[in-house]
Structure 1
C-alpha cells in the first residue's frame, strides 16, 4: 500500500524525525511522542502494568484511558540468533510493523475481534531497520494456555473459539502463528485473536485455512505434552472444529 494514500484515508498521522518514522492514531494518542516506544519512559512514570516474555519482552502500560502493549520486533529461528531484530529495509509500508498495523486497521474495519493498532516506530539504519508497535491491551483477558493451565472449558466455549476463527477465515484473514497463546478469552467469554505479525489478507480461500487449524491443533498438543496440568482433550478439539464448521 502507498504510504501517502494510507495516511490520507486512514486518519493516521505520520511523524518523521531523522531516521525514525512513526505512524500513530492521534485520536487515541493525542500527546504522541516517540519516547513512548522506550520501556524506561513508562517505568519513570510508574505506568507499567506488567510484562510477558516470549521471543522478547512485551510491556503492558497505562496511558490516560488506554491500556497498551508495547512490543519490539524480533526475528525467530536460526537467523534470529544471528541478527536478532534487524530486517532489510524496502520502504516503510513493507516493514513488518507497518504491515501488521495496516492489517489490524483492516480487522477493525471488518469488525473482527482483534486489538486496535495505536502506533508503530521504524528506525532505519542504512539498508536495515528495527521496529516497534503499540497496540491496545484487551481488558480482563487471558490467553488459552494460561486459562487451560487452571481449568477446563465447556463445550460452548470451544464452539465459540471455532466460530471466531471461522469469522477471520471467511474474511480471508491468514494468521501466520495461530496457536494457543494467541487466542484470548475475556471476562465476558468473548474470544479474541492477537499477534498478527506476518499475517495477511489472502486473495482467495484455500488450503491455508486448514493449515491454520492444523497448526493450532499442534500447539494444543505441544502445550499438553509440556505442562503438568493442561486441560485439553481431543473431544475439546472436536468441539472447536464443530464451531468452525457451524460458523
Structure 2
C-alpha cells in the first residue's frame, strides 16, 4: 500500500495510490468524491449504515463497493458544532490519523477494511473530514447476529481470538462494541471504525476494551445468553495464540 497526499487551496487528501486508476470513467481524487451529491448524481449509492453521519455504501467499481463515512461529533459538544473540529495540523486530523493507522494494520495482515482515502477541508481554525474504505462484501455486524441469535460458540470464539490479535499488535480500540465488529459470509470477524484509536504498549486499556465490548454485547443478547456470550468471547481471547508470520 502506497499512501500519497494531495494539497490544493483549503483541502487535503491522503489516499492509497493503488485504489484508483487513470482509466476512462474512473473516479478522480477530488473533494467532491467525499460528498453525498457526487455519488447520488451518478446513481451509485447502494446503501446506508446507521450511526452518526449516515455512512454511505457506494458502488465504486463494478466489482468493489466503498464505505464513505463523514466525521461527526456526538454528545453535548455536537450542539455547538456537529461537523467541525479544531485544526492543529494535517497529520493531527482525525481523518489522516485513522487512515494511516488502518493502513498500518492492513499491511500487517490484520482484518481491517482496506483504506482508500481521507479528505480534510480546512476553514481557518477548524476543519471537516471524511474517510473512504473498501466495504466488506456481505458482512453483518456482530450486533445484528446477536439480536437474531445467529452467533454460535465457534463464531464468538473467533471474535475473541481476533481481538487478542489486535491487542498483540498494540491497538487500543476506544469504541470496541458489537456494531464495530463485522462478520463476513465465511464467518471471519473484522474490526472497523478506528477513529481516535491508537497503538500502545500493553496495559489496563486492554481490559477496558473488553469491558466496553461486554457492555455492548449485553445490549444485543437475550438476557439469559449474556453471560455465555461474553464467556465464549473471553475464551477465544485468552486462548494461546501466535500470529501467523
Same fold (TM over 0.5): yes
Query: Which of 36, 40, 43 is matched with 2:37 structurally?
Result: 40
Change (3 A) 1:76 1:70: same
Query: Which of 216, 221, 225 is matched with 2:218 structurally?
Result: 221
CA distance in 1, matches of 2:202, 2:170: 6
Residue pair 1:20, 1:123 contacting (<8 A) in 2 also: yes
Which ranges of structure 1 fall in alignment gaps of 5 or more residues? Answer: 1-9
Query: Where does structure 1 differ by over 3 angstroms across 4 or more consecutive aligned residues?
Result: 229-232
1:243 has 2:241 as partner: no
Q: Secondary structure at the match of 1:105?
A: helix
Partner of 2:113 in structure 1?
Answer: 115
Instruction: Spell out the pairing of 1:75-114 with structure 2 (5 A cutoff).
Output: 75-114=73-112
State the shift of 1:232 in Å.
4.3
Which ranges of structure 2 fall in alignment gaps of 5 or more residues? Answer: 22-26
Q: Secondary structure at the match of 2:49?
A: strand
CA distance in 2, matches of 1:26, 1:11: 6
Change (3 A) 1:32 1:216: same
Query: Which of 45, 48, 54 is matched with 2:51 structurally?
Result: 54
Residue pair 1:28, 1:66 contacting (<8 A) in 2 also: no
Residue pair 1:26, 1:32 contacting (<8 A) in 2 also: no
1:60-108 per-position Cα deviation (integer Å, ceiling 9, x unaligned): 0011232100111011111112111111111100000001001001111
Query: Which of 186, 189, 213 is matched with 1:188 structurally?
Result: 186
State the shift of 1:33 in Å.
2.8
Change (3 A) 1:18 1:232: farther
Q: Secondary structure at the match of 1:168?
A: helix
Q: Secondary structure at the match of 1:124?
A: strand
Q: Secondary structure at the match of 2:202?
A: coil
Number of residue-to-residue matches in the alignment: 233
State the shift of 1:173 in Å.
0.6
1:28-75 per-position Cα deviation (integer Å, ceiling 9, x unaligned): 122423221111111111111101231121000011232100111011
Query: Which of 213, 217, 234 is matched with 2:227 structurally?
Result: 234
CA distance in 2, matches of 1:230, 1:44: 45
Residue pair 2:142, 2:151 contacting (<8 A) in 1 also: no
Partner of 2:150 in structure 1?
Answer: 152
CA RMSD of aligned residues (A): 1.5
Residue pair 1:113, 1:192 contacting (<8 A) in 2 also: yes
TM-score under structure 2 length normalisation: 0.91
1:170-212 per-position Cα deviation (integer Å, ceiling 9, x unaligned): 111111100010011111000101000001111x101000000
TM-score under structure 1 length normalisation: 0.90
